[in-house]
Structure formats: C-alpha cells, structure tokens
Amino acid sequence: MDKKEILQAKALCYFVGKGLEIISRTNEDFQEQFEELDGIFQWVICEEVSAYMVATKGKFESFMDATHDAPTVTFAVADFQKAKEILTGKVDGTSAYMGGDLNIMGDIQMGMKFSQLSEFLVNALSDLVA
C-alpha cells in the first residue's frame, strides 16, 4: 500500500469504528435493533491496516491500529480498492464475500450481522464519503 492508500484505509476504519460508537449511543432505531448485540468485529486491510470494534449490549467501542486476540469475526480484504468499495457501501459485503474479495474468519453469522450495522453506517456517512 502506498501512503495514500494507508491513510485512506485508516480514515475508513476510523469512520466505521467511531461512527458505530456514535450511532450506537444516539440512534434509537439502531439501539432497538442491536440492544442485545455482543461481539468483537475486526477489520484487516491489506494486512497493514487494522482496527476492531467491541459491541457490548449494542454499544460500540472502537480501537484503531490494533488487533484483538480473540475477535468474534474478522473481515480481511487483500485489495485496497475492494476494501474501499465495501466500507463505503458501494459494494455489498455479502456480494464481496461470495465473490472472494472479502474473507470472513470466525462466526459467519456475526459477519452477516455486520451487513445490518453497515446499513446504518452508510446512511450516516453518506455526506462524508464520496
């Protein structure tokens, strides 16, 4: 990854992680839908940029530039452009997984749950990400 890709990957992880922190504390629909959600969602982009988000009773806390020893599910993308498309909602995570662009390790059901979380994120971040 070049500097631009690294920085964009970090920015995207930040948007996802901090976005989930904010939404989980402010969006009533989100809170209602995910009030029982517990899990650790980890992202690894091109094996260089990583972050994880811990959900506890639907409330998220994110950790940038870190990997968890025992994540519930890890999403790994080897191609930066694919990661960008997935994280900005331009490509559906399920389609990316089926197409082999998104590797999901761990609890696949929790992996699918992230697709539901992403819908809230994409709506919230649509003004920020081109």
Partner 1 sequence: MELTLLLGALHYCASELMKIDAAYKQKFKGIDAILQWKSVPDGPNTYTIIKDSKIEFKADAIHKTPTFMMVGKNLEQALTIFKGQYLISNAIKKGDVAVTGDKEKLLLLTFYLEDLVPYLGELTGSA
Q: Give how far Cα 4 sits from Cα of 1, 11, 44, 81, 87, Å.
A: 8, 10, 17, 12, 16
Least distance (Å) from partner 1 to the CB of residue 102? 19
* Residue 44 · residue 51 · CB < 8 Å: no
Least distance (Å) from partner 1 to the CB of residue 63? 12
Dihedral, 113, 102, 8, 64 alpha carbons, nearest 10: 50
For binding to partner 1 (CB under 8 A), which residues are involved? Answer: 3-4, 6-8, 10-12, 14-15, 18-19, 22-23, 26, 64-65, 84, 124-125, 127-130
Which C-beta is closer to partner 1: that of 14 or that of 107? 14
Least distance (Å) from partner 1 to the CB of residue 26? 7
* Residue 21 · residue 52 · CB < 8 Å: no
Closest to 8 measured CA to CA, from 115, 66, 88: 88
Least distance (Å) from partner 1 to the CB of residue 130? 3
